[in-house]
Structure 1
Amino acid sequence: MDYSSSQAEQAPQTGTTIVAVSFDGGVVLGADSRVSTGNYVSNRASDKITCLADNVYMLRSGSAADTQAIADYVRHYAHMHSIEEDRDPRVKAVAKLVSQINYSNKNMLLGAMIVGGWDPERGGQIYGVPIGGTLVEQAWTTDGSGSTYIWGYLDAAYREGMSRQEAEELVKTALALAMSRDGSSGGLARLVTLTKAGAERKLINHDDIPAFWDELEVLKTNGTASSMVVV
């Protein structure tokens, strides 16, 4: 069945922000946690970072149902491949599988994804898999409705040879910038850092997400000035 233009117009509008940055020794993947259906926030604490293998993770944006289905299929095939080869799958092989499934069903699926991971053959790698099934290896990338606000920032701030801490701070700040501008992005920020040592998750609570000048409001209570973040 073709996904016609009329169906696309009737489909619920969704939004998110996903970011991936490579550094000297691995990659950092990050996402906000807000799931929206039009103007309605259906989930404030969703996990948009999905494990495909022990060494490969995927960031999901677009239709949650479509990207979850792709992740389930790819996770199954990657697990079978790991058993047959008696090793973790190569990052590029898993990314190609995501791309092939997306491309083969491009008339029915609506999902933009980023695949990142680490393997002993090529180290840390990031692959963008936008709507339609294209596969592009990149040093950094972003997608989702909030990405339109941070392309310029990432382009200016990213540099080769960054440390792990620098890469994590870059992803954290990029997510915060997108969340402060995009109404469909928000909630918490989740990070996954993949290196030779494995995958490490980090949850950034609302209070720890960077705030910017236009989010700060000075309140005067009993003659004392205090600041608060308005979201």
Structure 2
Amino acid sequence: MSAYPPPRSLRGWCDGWLIRVPRDAGIIPPNLSGTYRGENMEESPGAVKTGTSTVGITFDGGVVVGADHRATMGHFVANKSVQKLFKIGNNLALTTAGLVGHAQSLARTLAAEVSLFELRRGDSMTVRGAATLTANILSGRPHWVQLLIVGVDSEGGSVYSIDSAGGSIPDTYCATGSGSPYMYGVLEDGFSENMSRKDAVALAARALSASAQRDAASGNGMDLAVITAKEGYVPVDQSEIAAALKK
């Protein structure tokens, strides 16, 4: 008999990812078990998860990326101002869902690796390169996270969804976290190829707002940023977000 419970959905680990992986298959090493030591993460009082709704949307000339602010510990709202959107390069951003400690560690690591790459090469890392780097880190040492790597390079705006074991999938738009089912309805209805910056920002804001209204693990405001080849990473002002939500 295995010392670990039978395989279960990664939905409980990453609040939104839908693949199934055996815990005893060597994919999640024992030293990553942290506080749970084999129990369900939901039952561990020390496991603070970001719950989370994050979104990335490509538009004509760039990409919009955003995330909410809430962190949960089981059914308890542990924090109302957690950072889940990180600038990891002037042309790159990261969003995180999953365990807060793992997410913050990865954000620091990726920002350092991107900066080192730029110093060595004298050029910006591509979005695909950043996604591959992230996937390689996770495939070698899985974390309880689900990530978006978004950015702009010579090929335009790109969005990559990356799971806890290093699976990397590109798309024109993507939502992650426990609020993703509620966001996808808004995104499917409102997305169009080569949409304007203004429309993409409004769509991202509406999607995050929809998740906050229905998902108990998401909410307490949002952060949005726009990345373009000309201006790089630029945070969206809260007044613009508020105006978009009034429409």
Q: TM-score, length-normalised on structure 1?
A: 0.83
2:184 is aligned to 151
1:210 and 2:245 equivalent?
A: yes
1:83 is aligned to 119
Counterpart secondary structure, 1:150 = helix
1:100 and 2:136 equivalent?
A: yes
Distance in 2 of aligned mates of 1:56 and 1:189: 19
Counterpart secondary structure, 1:145 = coil
1:49 is aligned to 85
Per mean C-alpha deviation after superposition, the further-off stretch among 44-53 and 157-166 is 44-53
Distance in 1 of aligned mates of 2:116 and 2:168: 22
Counterpart secondary structure, 1:6 = coil
1:189 is aligned to 222
Counterpart secondary structure, 1:170 = helix
CA contact (8 A) 1:35 1:44 kept: yes
CA contact (8 A) 2:58 2:200 kept: yes
Corresponding pairs, count: 208
2:104 partner amino acid: Q
Q: For 1:28-39, what aligned pairs fall within 5 Å after superposition?
A: 28-39=64-75
1:70 is aligned to 106
- Larger Rg belongs to: 1
Per the alignment, do residues 159 and 5 of structure 1 end up closer, same or farther by CA in structure 2, a change over 3 Å counting?
farther
Q: CA RMSD in A?
A: 2.0
1:113 is aligned to 147
Per the alignment, do residues 13 and 84 of structure 1 end up closer, same or farther by CA in structure 2, a change over 3 Å counting?
closer
- What are the ranges of 5 or more consecutive residues in structure 1 without an aligned counterpart? 213-231
Distance in 1 of aligned mates of 2:226 and 2:245: 19
CA contact (8 A) 1:176 1:211 kept: no
CA contact (8 A) 2:202 2:245 kept: no
Deviation string 1:130-155 (CA, Å, 9 cap, x unpaired) is 23211011000000111122222212
Task: Give the share of equivalent positions with the same residue, in percent.
Answer: 26
CA contact (8 A) 1:188 1:203 kept: no
1:176 and 2:218 equivalent?
A: no
1:138 is aligned to 171
CA contact (8 A) 1:23 1:167 kept: yes
1:57 partner amino acid: A
Distance in 2 of aligned mates of 1:143 and 1:181: 15
Per the alignment, do residues 44 and 122 of structure 1 end up closer, same or farther by CA in structure 2, a change over 3 Å counting?
same
| CA displacement at 1:182 relative to structure 2 | 0.7
1:202 partner amino acid: V
Distance in 2 of aligned mates of 1:157 and 1:64: 31
Distance in 1 of aligned mates of 2:134 and 2:38: 24
1:163 is aligned to 196
Distance in 2 of aligned mates of 1:122 and 1:84: 22
Distance in 2 of aligned mates of 1:203 and 1:46: 18
